[in-house]
Amino acid sequence: MIELLDLQQTLHAFAACNDDDEVHGSFGWVHATDDDLLQARFWLPPDEDAAFDEDSEVPAEARALGLGTFLEPATFADVLDVQKRQRPLSSLRDYAQALAYYAEYDAFQQVECIDEALGEAEVAEQAAAREAGVGTGIFASFDMALNACPEAQIKAAAQRVARLLEIPVGDALARCRALPLLLGEALDRNRAQDIKDQFEGLGATVQVHGFKPFPWMDAPMLR
């Protein structure tokens, strides 16, 4: 059965992935109806076998719904990422325009007043996005800090900190006795969840700050 999505739902499906590797493993192609992208409907087949028939054509069932090939999943993600680097607080309409531009010209849309060599927004705009809880990429990201740890587990926590931060155990022990301690920044969801589980398994208190991929979304949370 073909599940039709609007553009926002399609962006959310990409944002729900952990990273680019998961995008590659989750979607075989991005098919879309031939409409303005804000009104278009999208289909994300789970693999290329589902995306195309034996003649390498869009399946008849999909064509009957007006669907045709739009972009490869990796390219779709790249377009979103480039747009976000240039304008971190881009709206859904901004992303629609960037995708339409790439689909027509096979090139990334250049946002005005952006240094092409850097390809990213000015520091003030990046700071405003962070203040609004928007991360740097198109996937959820997390900052984590160790806020408290039972005295009986300090040494065990220090061993984990030493491995995580790649520092001597002695230094890690000193830091664990002078909390809070930053454990990581801009961590992907899987990595952040693993770290959280490790320290909470010791009875430690971990502070998690999630950053959302797009400004209209809710802040992401771990289990």
Tens digits of per-residue pLDDT, 15-29? Answer: 999 999 999 999 999
For 137-161, what is each residue's pLDDT tens digit?
A: 999 999 999 999 999 999 999 999 9
CA nearest neighbour of 50 among 34, 78, 18, 73: 73
- Report d(CA 218, CA 213) in Å as an integer: 9
Whole-number Å distance between alpha carbons of 38 and 123: 30
Query: Could you tell me if 93 and 179 lie in one domain?
Result: no
CATH number, residue 165? 3.30.1390.10
Q: Give the SS3 label for residue 208.
A: strand
**pLDDT value of residue 116:** 58
pLDDT tens, position by position, 122-142? 888 999 999 999 999 999 999
- Residue 170 CB partners (closer than 8 Å, separation 6+): none
pLDDT at 48 over 70: yes
> In terms of domains, do 92 and 169 share one?
no
Number of domains in the chain: 2
Are 74 and 17 in a shared domain? Answer: yes
- For the entire predicted model, the pTM comes to 0.93
| Domain boundary pick from 88, 105, 122 | 105
- Out of 48, 80, 105, a domain closes at 105
At residue 112, the pLDDT reads 74
Q: What average pLDDT does this structure show over 99-112? A: 92
Question: Pick from 105, 129, 149: which residue ends a domain?
Answer: 105
Count of other CB atoms within 10 angstroms of residue 92? 16
Does residue 145 lie in a domain region? yes
163 assigned to some structural domain: yes
Q: How far apart are CA 118 and CA 114, in angstroms?
A: 8
Q: What local confidence, expressed as pLDDT, does residue 121 receive?
A: 83
Tokens describing residue 61: 């069932």
Query: Is residue 75 in a domain?
Result: yes
Query: What is the model's pLDDT at position 73?
Result: 98
Q: Encoding tokens for residue 168?
A: 């001597």
Confidence of residue 115 (pLDDT cuts 50, 70, 90): low
d(CA 79, CA 94): 11
| Structural Rg of the chain based on CA atoms | 21
pLDDT confidence of residue 114: 66
Domain range for residue 201?
141-211
The packing angle between helices 189-200 and 154-165, to 10°, is 160
In sequence order, what are the residues at sequence separation of 6 or more whose Cβ sits closer than 8 angstroms to the Cβ of residue 117?
A: none
pLDDT (mean) for 167-185: 98
**Collapsed DSSP state (helix, strand, coil) of residue 96:** helix
